[in-house]
Structure 1
Amino acid sequence: MIPAPVLLLCRTSCRPLLLRLGPNRTSWARRTIFLRTALAMATGGKNSHSGSPQYTNRLIHEKSPYLLQHAHNPVNWYPWGQEAFEKAKREDKLIFLSVGYSTCHWCHVMEQESFQNVEIGQILNENFVCIKVDREERPDVDKVYMTFVQATSSGGGWPMSVWLTPDLKPFVGGTYFPPEDGIYQVGFRTVLLRILEQWKRNKTTLLENSQKIMSALLARTDVGVRGEEVPPSSQEVTARCFQQLSESYDEEYGGFSESPKFPTPVNLNFLFSYWALRRSTSEGARALQMALHTLKMMAYGGIHDHIAQGFHRYSTDQRWHVPHFEKMLYDQGQLAAAYAKAFQISGEEFFADVAADILLYVSRDLSDRSGGFYSAEDADSYPSLQSKEKQEGAFCVWTAEEIRWVLPDPVEGIPERKTTADVFMHHYGVKEDGNVNPMKDPHNELKGKNVLIVQYSLELTAARFGLGLEQLKALLAKSREKLYKARGQRPRPHLDTKMLASWNGLMISGFAQSGAILGKKEYVDRAARAASFLQSHMFNASSGKLLRSCYQGQDSSVEQSSVPIHGFLEDYVFVIQALFDLYEASLNSQWLEWAVQLQHKQDDLFWDPKGFAYFSTEAADPSLLLRMKDDQDGAEPSPNSIAVTNLLRAASYTGHKEWVKKAGQILAAFSERLLKIPVVLPEMARASAASHLTLQQVVICGDPSREDTRELLRCVYSTYAPNRVLILADGDSTGFLYRRLPFLSSLEKKDGKATAYLCENFTCSLPITSSQELRRILLP
């Protein structure tokens, strides 16, 4: 059990924090007197309004867009590092750690309310060592202290606010704090003064309690093999995971919660795989229905940007209508692949169109000219060029009047003299007084505005206005183009131009898989360009290590931080996965060779030889109090979940059996969670089936420039068969694959035609030259 913080109890969430001060609440008047007295004590009796406060904000030298957003706060911010740690120890001061990211709405709010407040800045500067961390740049720091916040409260979120002893041990934390006390919320100023008072009076107790908390956290985060090294039954794990997902499934709108509702591609990937293993059963049919219905409802909803493409972060309501408007790269990469797979399975062009829509957005708005991908677009922006304050969603929402002004043209063939705006507004649910439920707009930022949502099918809208289906499609497409141009006149949201290895890996997978499935060479080429970018800018060839991040420079060049941050486990697993996907799409073995090199380095840096599975971080950083193993798939799959499949793929490409053993050891390390609540690890549950069945090697012998080879490859690309790897045997006996897999030399083309073989455990099928026969075998 985690000891409660000694000062106060915090209840945290993504929304504003309620902080309870105990049963004896002082009156507002008494509390105000206390604040004034404590402020005078904390500032040495100085008048905070007299003269200019002195502060040195060191964030101005950083590269992270989030840190630079705070570089002009009247706070003596330090980046995470030795300078701050040594100052805290030398001056015996508590550390105030603030963690967020550049497109975080509540991070912006807390900055404006508290970190730009001169009086609060003075309290912080004179009594604390203040450290600001970009959680996307340093996920290792974020995970340690978020684990503490979640363990000592009922939630977590960003901005994360944690107070540490000079030796970096946390003792109290929360998320967002308003600047001043309210009826139900304690203000940030009060929290600072209470903590300062306790540090002066009860330092010994605080230090003792922080040590107890750390001991409890160490025990809580210890994931590893306890008894026998035996992976759990994949059949039991997948059946229970499906049951738990089915129980939480929203039959009407899709998804797996009421609100807020997140895309969760890991759930969709699991359901696709579950269907593939049980195609002929009712459970398999239901799994596929759940996944396809969810993807359709998301694409119809307001979480999908119908004008400028791509998907917003999540929906605040059950029906995917009103989103939190930020757009994250990791969502785009995973969702592009999910929609491409939905097309691969169903054959419905609708899903292919949505995948193409996502990739258009990323190519246009999140792409650096060097080939890398940017991290995110903000939710907040200025409503107009004259506005002084940003509002959430301002760039994306519409009034009915705006739409009528942009789309005034009458529609030919409609007797009621309806305009294009009338048809568009009907189809996308636009109302004269706005279509946003006030309950989903607590700050009245969306009052009178509309979030576009597909309200009716094309067939119903066409029937309503007496239009032909193709006529309606053309009208809506032209209307969206006009609205896109009109929206381009608005102030754009902030663009986070930080480039992360892990998220670039997810996006490379999205382009590579979509390119292979949809037959779009330009997508595969874009994936290869991004992979080359990673190799040039985020990989140290001499050490064999990945770097975590790089940034767009002022002259549009690519820059590294002054102290380069080495890659974490998630960077390795997502990049390795991307390189495997890119090999299968391009059949260029240079990507395969680099993936195998990185897999060896990952083993060296992160593998736990005692408890098995991979740690999230290297062992070399003494400032990290916990070396953790993620045990939950969230917005991104956990690195160990992806590592299982990566290891199996790597073994299939190299014959290195030690990697198969490691995959089983990861499953054994997480066996308790997989057996009890696999719904929190759906990607690992999916991987457990691949581990149990082993991966099939689909070997194509032929020249990819010839049509007969391309026909067999198209068959493989168009068939959803999750537990297989694709290998091109081009006859080059000196090539990477032939050196690793000697049995390839025994496989030949039959009668001079391109030939396929299905191989497993060094045993191969009879030669197959017909794409129809190959499809039949791939889909048993």
Structure 2
Amino acid sequence: MPNRLAHETSPYLQQHADNPVDWYPWGPEALAESKRTGKPILLSVGYSACHWCHVMAHESFEDEAVAKVMNELFVNIKVDREERPDIDQIYQSAQAMLTQRNGGWPLTMFLTPDQMPFHGGTYFPKTARYGLPGFPDLLKRVREFHDQGGDEIREQNAQLLAALGRANPKSGAHVAALDRAPLDAAYAFLRQTFDSEHGGFGGAPKFPHPDSIEFLLRHFAANGDAEALGMAAISLAKMAEGGIFDHLGGGFARYSVDDEWAIPHFEKMLYDNGWLLRLYADAWLVTKEPLFERTADETAAWVMREMQSPEGGYYSSLDADSEGHEGKYYVWTPESVKALLTPEEFAIVSPHFGLDRPANFEGKEWHFVVAKPLEAVAESVGLPLAGAEDLLASARAKLFVARERRVRPGRDEKILVSWNALMIGGMARAARAFGKPEWLASARKALEFVRERMWKNERLLATYKDGRAHLDAYLDDHAFLLAALLEVMQAGFEAKDLAWAEALGDVLLEEFQDEKDGGFFFTAHGHEPLIHRPKPGHDNATPSGNGVAALALTRLAYLTGEMRFREAAERTLALYAPAMARHPAGFGSLLATLEETLVPPRLVKVAGPAASLEPWRALLDGAYLPTTVAIAQPGSAPVNALVCEGVTCLPPIHTPSALRETLKIHTMPAS
């Protein structure tokens, strides 16, 4: 018989609905049951695309004997970290403090009935291995510790609460004391950690770190620093040529398990691809590198083909696994590829994607990477480059069709505001850069879905699936959506978007702002009480809600003239200034706000008859202007542009060429 999770909207929770474990979703019923029985809580946090979550589920949660122990000793709560990032943040931090180890998923925490964690970890095997205890034995030992360790647990709880409290900054710098030092220190750090051979920063496992790449592109725009552009461009190129990018279907996997971007952890997340789509568009505007255009085009195509619901919202993720094996959907053997292609096609594909080299996946299969540039392959077989391109295109099309017949990885079809906002912003930015109205239409369709289904009575809801939107939205939902609206307005202005942006700005100030110390809490003032209320400033897999809120509010202030938005942004920046001074590279979103606080953003407003706006749009859309907000509004008066730097505006400009000179836009020749 299905357990309580059968009624949830989360696909991850629904995956556990037939477990013999007596699972509860997080909520009053589960918490009351723990207090009624005195049983501690076993909190298991994961997500649909998580490989090791599936492993632990198969080993332990589907096992009748293990489930019997869990049900006898604990109240078992299953949480989708994508629907409840508030709970995940708190208990990830607690796990790190208790164990002095990195966290991750699945997260396995043991809580007292009043929600205080007293033991935890991540993945535990059913039987002891990897230096980890077997899960059933651990369950018995943890319950015994809970029942006998009262004083020790209470003392540990007091120390943990104090440590969590210290994690939130309490006082910051004065706005007048802010300077460029964190920007300079962040750049120095990225130079030091840059992998000049393979691109990216640091070693395996290797994440794209879009915050760092965006920082470098902005640094180049501000200073003309060719080294900064080079680090960004090399990183983007190596990722696009590596196995972290899907060379048949488009889109990026979460991260690479090696230094060379060759073998990914195969899950594909919406949020990664939204941010990266924007970066490839920005980098293309600067370099005109064809690889960046092709990568953006294939990523956008994947999103619209596989990740956009018929209703308009974007789905969350694709699993790493299919048929119980990670990566099975994506890997090949030379023989299977050869059987699908003509000899001429295989002669191109084999050296280009590394099929003529030793297997790179688990010693027996091949995952496509660009092993040899197509120009070199064409020369080696005596073909012009155009001929090799045609053969590669036809081969890729055949392989894609063949792969589509395989058992596909699972798709998490819940729609999250925060992740949708990242993709809406990325799609709108890329649509402007490449002149792709169909991409803007995709972004607008998702935006309208959120407006119609997830914005109810001036209140934003976080998640939607199967016709149901629920859960109070978080800081990231509001901040990312505000930033996405500012991006969409630059691609095509509509007054209703500006009104919605102002409404979201007001919600941020009224419901999330810390009036005492500045900054924004992750949860609203009326949110369910939890043991801690985080106020995160660091960028992680997604940008910091505080950083995005501060930057978007700064821009909204200059767009609307409502300086209350700028004041909230400045208080946020001042609050995190000491932390940024100590560890600047972790605060990419707040560094962008710092840059636009030291030198206010530039606002360009073009107004005039709709038919006259196109050359002005083409000029603005075709330039990389990261600290400029450009709005084109149809009107009846003769067309002109107004350029404002902060609160100082120049006289009206009447021609696109004069605007080009004012903005110092220079054309970059194609490489």
Question: Considering the TM-score relative to the shorter chain, is it more than 0.5?
Answer: yes
Deviates more, 1:755-764 or 1:610-619: 755-764
Q: Aligned to 1:764, which of 642, 645, 649? A: 649
Deviations 1:666-712 (A, max 9, x none): 11100111111110111211221011111111121222323xx2111
Alpha-carbon distance in 1 for matches of 2:338, 2:130: 44
Instruction: For 1:83-122, list aligned pairs within 5 A.
Output: 83-122=29-68
| Partner in structure 1 of residue 606 of structure 2 | 700
| Partner in structure 2 of residue 300 of structure 1 | 241
Structure 2 letter corresponding to 1:767: P
Deviations 1:31-65 (A, max 9, x none): xxxxxxxxxxxxxxxxxxxxxxxx87211111100
Q: Displacement, 1:432?
A: 6.7
TM-score computed with the length of structure 2 as normaliser:
0.96
Q: Displacement, 1:129?
A: 0.4
Q: Does residue 1:144 correspond to 2:90, yes or no? A: yes
Q: Aligned to 1:642, which of 548, 564, 567? A: 548
Alpha-carbon distance in 1 for matches of 2:399, 2:237: 23
| Partner in structure 1 of residue 290 of structure 2 | 349
Deviates more, 1:130-139 or 1:756-765: 756-765
| Alpha-carbon contact 2:558-2:647 (below 8 Å) kept | no
Deviates more, 1:367-376 or 1:350-359: 350-359
Q: Aligned to 2:21, which of 62, 72, 75? A: 75
Q: Displacement, 1:270?
A: 0.8
Q: Displacement, 1:184?
A: 2.4
Alpha-carbon distance in 2 for matches of 1:271, 1:111: 41
SS at match of 2:77: strand
Deviations 1:432-456 (A, max 9, x none): 75233xxxxxxxxx33110101112
Alpha-carbon distance in 1 for matches of 2:369, 2:177: 43
SS at match of 2:643: strand
| Partner in structure 1 of residue 428 of structure 2 | 512
Alpha-carbon distance in 1 for matches of 2:627, 2:595: 8
Q: Displacement, 1:258?
A: 1.3
Q: Aligned to 1:426, which of 333, 351, 354? A: 351
Alpha-carbon distance in 2 for matches of 1:117, 1:506: 39
| Partner in structure 2 of residue 633 of structure 1 | 539
Q: Aligned to 2:501, which of 595, 601, 610? A: 595
Deviations 1:232-278 (A, max 9, x none): 53421111110111111000110001111111111111111111110
| Alpha-carbon contact 1:231-1:671 (below 8 Å) kept | no
Alpha-carbon distance in 2 for matches of 1:550, 1:763: 43
SS at match of 2:75: strand
SS at match of 2:103: coil
Runs ≥4 in structure 1, deviation > 4 angstroms? Answer: none
Deviations 1:78-111 (A, max 9, x none): 0000101111111111000000000100000000
| Partner in structure 2 of residue 165 of structure 1 | 112
| Partner in structure 2 of residue 268 of structure 1 | 213
Between the aligned residues of both structures, percent identity stands at 37
Alpha-carbon distance in 2 for matches of 1:658, 1:185: 52
Structure 2 letter corresponding to 1:255: G
* Pair 183,253 (structure 1): closer, same or farther in 2 beyond 3 Å: closer
| Alpha-carbon contact 1:224-1:670 (below 8 Å) kept | no
Q: Does residue 1:313 correspond to 2:254, yes or no? A: yes
| Partner in structure 1 of residue 102 of structure 2 | 155
| Partner in structure 1 of residue 668 of structure 2 | none
| Partner in structure 2 of residue 132 of structure 1 | 78
| Alpha-carbon contact 2:509-2:568 (below 8 Å) kept | no
Deviations 1:4-28 (A, max 9, x none): xxxxxxxxxxxxxxxxxxxxxxxxx
Alpha-carbon distance in 2 for matches of 1:124, 1:586: 54
Decide which structure has the larger Cα Rg and report it: 1
Q: Aligned to 1:673, which of 567, 579, 583? A: 579
* Pair 300,224 (structure 1): closer, same or farther in 2 beyond 3 Å: same
| Partner in structure 2 of residue 331 of structure 1 | 272
* Pair 675,232 (structure 1): closer, same or farther in 2 beyond 3 Å: farther
Alpha-carbon distance in 2 for matches of 1:358, 1:170: 41
SS at match of 2:53: helix
SS at match of 1:261: coil
| Partner in structure 2 of residue 63 of structure 1 | 9
Deviations 1:110-168 (A, max 9, x none): 00111111111111101110000000000000001011112222211000000000000
| Partner in structure 2 of residue 493 of structure 1 | 409
TM-score computed with the length of structure 1 as normaliser:
0.83
Q: Does residue 1:362 correspond to 2:310, yes or no? A: no
Q: Displacement, 1:216?
A: 2.4
Alpha-carbon distance in 2 for matches of 1:565, 1:374: 17
SS at match of 1:565: strand
Q: Displacement, 1:183?
A: 6.9
Alpha-carbon distance in 2 for matches of 1:214, 1:207: 11
Q: Aligned to 1:340, which of 262, 281, 285? A: 281
Alpha-carbon distance in 1 for matches of 2:101, 2:395: 46
Q: Displacement, 1:721?
A: 1.3
Deviations 1:318-372 (A, max 9, x none): 0100000000000111111100001111122321221111110000001100000
Deviations 1:285-322 (A, max 9, x none): 11111001100000000000001111111100001000
Alpha-carbon distance in 2 for matches of 1:622, 1:497: 26
Structure 2 letter corresponding to 1:518: F
Alpha-carbon distance in 1 for matches of 2:160, 2:236: 42
Equivalent pairs, count: 664
Deviations 1:731-768 (A, max 9, x none): 47xxxxxxxxxxxxxxx64xxxx322311344322333
Q: Displacement, 1:664?
A: 1.2
**Structure 1 unpaired stretches of 5+:** 1-54, 383-389, 412-419, 437-445, 733-747
| Partner in structure 1 of residue 463 of structure 2 | 549
Structure 1 letter corresponding to 2:542: E
**Structure 2 unpaired stretches of 5+:** 666-671
Q: Aligned to 2:439, which of 516, 523, 526? A: 523
Deviates more, 1:363-372 or 1:682-691: 682-691
Alpha-carbon distance in 1 for matches of 2:13, 2:2: 14
* Pair 234,779 (structure 1): closer, same or farther in 2 beyond 3 Å: farther
Structure 2 letter corresponding to 1:537: R
Alpha-carbon distance in 1 for matches of 2:337, 2:43: 45
| Partner in structure 1 of residue 388 of structure 2 | 472
Structure 1 letter corresponding to 2:13: L
Q: Does residue 1:403 correspond to 2:337, yes or no? A: yes
Deviations 1:605-629 (A, max 9, x none): 1000111000000132344111111
Structure 1 letter corresponding to 2:89: K
Structure 1 letter corresponding to 2:334: A
* Pair 350,704 (structure 1): closer, same or farther in 2 beyond 3 Å: farther
Q: Does residue 1:254 correspond to 2:199, yes or no? A: yes
Alpha-carbon distance in 2 for matches of 1:328, 1:755: 42
Deviates more, 1:205-214 or 1:397-406: 205-214
| Alpha-carbon contact 1:399-1:432 (below 8 Å) kept | no
SS at match of 1:631: coil
* Pair 776,151 (structure 1): closer, same or farther in 2 beyond 3 Å: farther
Alpha-carbon distance in 2 for matches of 1:354, 1:56: 43
Alpha-carbon distance in 1 for matches of 2:618, 2:447: 23
Alpha-carbon distance in 2 for matches of 1:715, 1:203: 68
| Alpha-carbon contact 2:640-2:653 (below 8 Å) kept | yes
| Alpha-carbon contact 2:558-2:646 (below 8 Å) kept | no
